[in-house]
Structure formats: structure tokens, C-alpha cells
Chain A
């Protein structure tokens, strides 16, 4: 008999399964539930991008590309980063096309982290960071954030967490699951703490296009003096509704990208070629029509966002106003339930799926994540059902 428990790498095997996965299994059994648990756009990929990928197949572009990705796509990405966010990258050696921004997170962590290094990440936060840090041999040190501070990372929390072992910080704004964003002033304050240190910033900006209200996204690398220490991660999943294509990119100083591409070339070789053509079309179409597709999606999300936030506040579950991504993160503490219990009972009683906040870290407890990337009429019905559930408690 093989004793697999002794054979597998304990460091990996001991990482707990995602709290989202557990809940997914429960929800999947309920066929007619309305799901507000989805972390991807409800819009399908604009057909024009699909068509470009299909055309590339017809043309016979079914081979590997450069490890870095198609140079046309890297040029388009560099152009996009410059004109949309004011950060300049050399497409020949500072832009890497990745398999989703998720691969970028993994590459950045593995390129930086030595055993024993500490990596900082906000809590609550996206589910992949802590496992990614563990996979790379590092230790995650969490940075507490709270609804009182609009789930922003504060310079005080950052300063308190820095030790001589701190190698990097993951800065994921606009934030999944909270919807929190960081203004230029907020980022300047973080930059002030980092100046004079050797800490690298992994800025996960996958929701960069999805901001609401007056403020648009500020890329951390655009803060004076921060470019040199920042790896910017972004991709096509959210803003261009291309989740299933798994297309992302990483940008940063050549010396860092050289190490990241080393892992990428040996493990991935290159991002899927047809997807690269679809992504190129997305950027070209965006440039042509001034990102009208993106703007229309953002306006739609914004209207749904107001419905959701208003409904939670009306039913007495306090909900801070999310200004980015497509999630609301209301507090359910007033119900006396923990987040797992709330989500489970809500699903059983009213067939509405949400995600328990504790899936996103210890400080997510007491909250639920509600995605408004779902058709407006479904959102309205779901909010009515949640309201009924809360009032019947």
C-alpha cells in the first residue's frame, strides 16, 4: 500500500481547500437558486474578440508564440497601460502575457520569495494570495482592513507589519471581496511607508476598469518613485468579459520580469495563442471606440451596485459603499449569525447564494460577499428574498 499522505509535499497538501469551493458544492446541488456568488462578469465576451480568435485559427496561428507573448499584443498592452493608467513599459522586455492574472500572482511570488520571507496581504482579501505565498515557501502576514476605513489599506497597518523579513506586499485594489478602492492620496501614504525599504509591491489591478463615481483607478506604479518596485498585474477577464480565455499580463522592471519569464517559459511556455489574438482585438477595439464596451458595462454594474447597497441598508444590514470591482460586502453581524450560518440558512430558506465572508480571511467573518455581476431583474428578486429572510429572523 502506498502511503500517499507521506509522499505528497506537506507544505502544499496542508493548505486548506478554498472556502468558496466548499460553498460551491452546496450551491451546485440546488438547481433553481439565484446566485450572487459569481466572481465573473455576466456579460459574454463581445463577439468581435471571439471572431478574431476564430480567424486566427483559420489563418493557421495554432503554434507557440514567444514566451513573452505576441509582440503585437505586448505593444498593445504597453500602449493600454500608458494611455489608460499613465505607466510606461517597454513591450520588448517589461511586459509578459500570462495565463490570467492568476498566473502572474504565482510567477511574481515564486520569482521573489525565499523560504522564510514574509509577504504582506490585506485581510479580507482574494482567496489565492495566502495559498500562493505558502506554495512559494513564504509566510503570509495579514494587514487588517475594516469597513470603518472603507476596507482601505492604512499606512499604520502597513508600518506595523513590516519586519526585516518582509519581501513583498500584495496590493489588490479595487478589491475582491470588499469593493474597496485606494485613491491617489491613499496610495501616496502607502508609498511614503515603502520609500527607503526594499519591499516589492505586487499590485493586482485586475478590477482597474471597474470603478464607480468620480474617481477612476490609480495604478500604483504611477505614484512617483514606485515604478521601480512594482509588478503590475492585470488582465482581460473582468473589464473585457473574457474570464474563460485566461488572458492576463504582468508588467514591471526588466530584472524582475526576466525571473518571472524564467518560470513561465519552463512551466507554461506561452499563453494560448488564440486567446492572445482575442485579447489583441479587445485592446484594438477599445482604442478604436474609446473603450465604449467597457464604459457600458461599468454603467450597468454601477446601476446594479446602487440597488444592492440600498437594499442592504434598507434591511438593516450595514453596507459600506463599494467603489470598485462588482461586489458588495455587507455586515451580517446584527443577525447574530456567523457568515457560514447566514449563507447556508439564506440558501436553504430563500434559494439565494452568497459567499461567506470568512472564505476571504479571518476579518471577513461577519460579512457576506454579494456579487452584482448578474442580471438586474435577478438582483432585484434576490434582494427582495434576502430582505424577507432577514425580517423573518
Chain B
């Protein structure tokens, strides 16, 4: 559980992680020292994990391929899904791993330079793991919305400039 004060800080950081602590203090009606302490505490508790920028890689001319892999596994006694998940998330190619409800068990997001590189990773590393029963690989073709931001259009302020 977090306090309303902490939630308000998180909302500021989610919209702009660069916001200076004195500015956050002003926005949430607190002092810089209290904000700095609260952020340090949330980092300590791993509520705030890191501060990445949201980047639209489609606009960058470099090879970057992303794929989403549905993985069906056999959970292990005493370990559940955690041990096999760890065997998967240790790979650098893997950017995210989620345990899912529904038709498959783990959703694995992987990133690489080329489709071939990712295909080989799935064939040679992922599918060959003990307890991995099957995989289905889906390559990402285009991103429309990322971290709550619509990437193309849709963000313009089209209100009247002055209204009552």
C-alpha cells in the first residue's frame, strides 16, 4: 500500500520522470526534502524500478525487431512457474516476462537486431529448455500506442483558444 502523497509523486514521475524534486514538492504541496525521502524510500522498496524514456524506435533508422512469444511450460514441484521463468528472463534478449492466465503460461518479450536472430533464439535457446513444452512467436510490426502515449496523431489540442 502507498499513501496519497506517494501516489501523487508516482503520477508526476510517470508523466515526466525528469521533474525536479523541488518542482514535485510544489506540485504535491510538500517540501523538497520530504519528496526526496519518499522517492528514495520507494526506490528502496522497488516500487520505482528505473527511469527510462519512452522511445518510438520506428522513427529511428536502425534495425530493431521485437517479438512476443507465448510459452507453454510444465510448472515444477515446489517452484511453480518461478524457476522456469527465471531460466527465461536471465537471457539478455528477453526484455519482459509475464505469467499469464489463459491459453498459455508465460508471455516473453524479446528484442534483437533481425528477425533471424530472434527466430534462432527461440529455436535454440527457448524451445530447448527443459519444461518448455511449446512456443508461438509473434513479431511486432507496428506500435500504435506505447505506455499510454498514442504514437502518431491524436495528441493535438484542438480546443477553442479562448472559451467561457
Contact = CB atoms under 8 A, between A and B. Distances in A.
B163 A39 contact: yes
B162 A353 contact: yes
B26 A310 contact: yes
A42 B156 CA distance: 10
Contact of B159 (A38, A176, A296): A38
Interface in B124-164: 157, 159-164
Interface string B22-43: 0100111100000000000000
| Band of interface residues on B | 10 to 19
A20 B8 contact: no
A304 B159 CA distance: 19
Interface in B3-31: 7-8, 11-12, 15-16, 23, 26-29
Contacts of B162: 20, 23-24, 27-28, 35, 37-38, 353, 355
A350 to B, nearest CB: 15
A66 interface: no
Nearest to B27: A303
B55 to A, nearest CB: 18
Contacts of B26: 306-307, 310
A377 B16 contact: yes
A24 B164 CA distance: 10
B12 A303 contact: yes
Interface in A111-129: 126-128
B160 A307 contact: no
Given A299-B8, A303-B8, A38 B161 contact: yes
A28 B163 CA distance: 11
Contact of B161 (A126, A353, A376): A353
Contacts of A40: 159, 163
Nearest to B11: A299
In this complex, the member of B15, B29, B159 whose beta carbon has the largest number of chain A beta carbons within 10 angstroms is: B159
In this complex, the member of A40, A176, A306, A310 whose beta carbon has the largest number of chain B beta carbons within 10 angstroms is: A306
A27 B160 CA distance: 10
Contacts of B163: 20, 24, 37-40
A300 interface: yes
A24 B160 contact: yes
Contacts of B12: 303
A42 B159 CA distance: 8
Contact of A128 (B7, B8, B157, B164): B164
A57 interface: no
Nearest to A303: B27
Contacts of B27: 303-304, 306-307
A215 interface: no
B51 to A, nearest CB: 17
A88 B26 CA distance: 39
A355 B160 CA distance: 13
A375 interface: yes
Contacts of B159: 38, 40, 42
Nearest to B4: A299
A306 B161 contact: no
B161 A33 contact: yes
Contact of B160 (A38, A128, A306): A38
* 10 tightest Cβ-Cβ pairs between the two chains A and B: A37-B162, A303-B27, A24-B162, A27-B161, A39-B163, A35-B161, A127-B164, A39-B164, A20-B164, A27-B162
11 contacts: A18-B164, A24-B160, A27-B162, A37-B161, A37-B162, A38-B162, A39-B164, A303-B12, A306-B27, A374-B157, A377-B16
Interface of B: 7-8, 11-12, 15-16, 23, 26-29, 157, 159-164
Interface of A: 18, 20, 23-24, 27-28, 33, 35, 37-40, 42, 126-128, 176, 296, 299-300, 303-304, 306-307, 310, 353, 355, 374-377
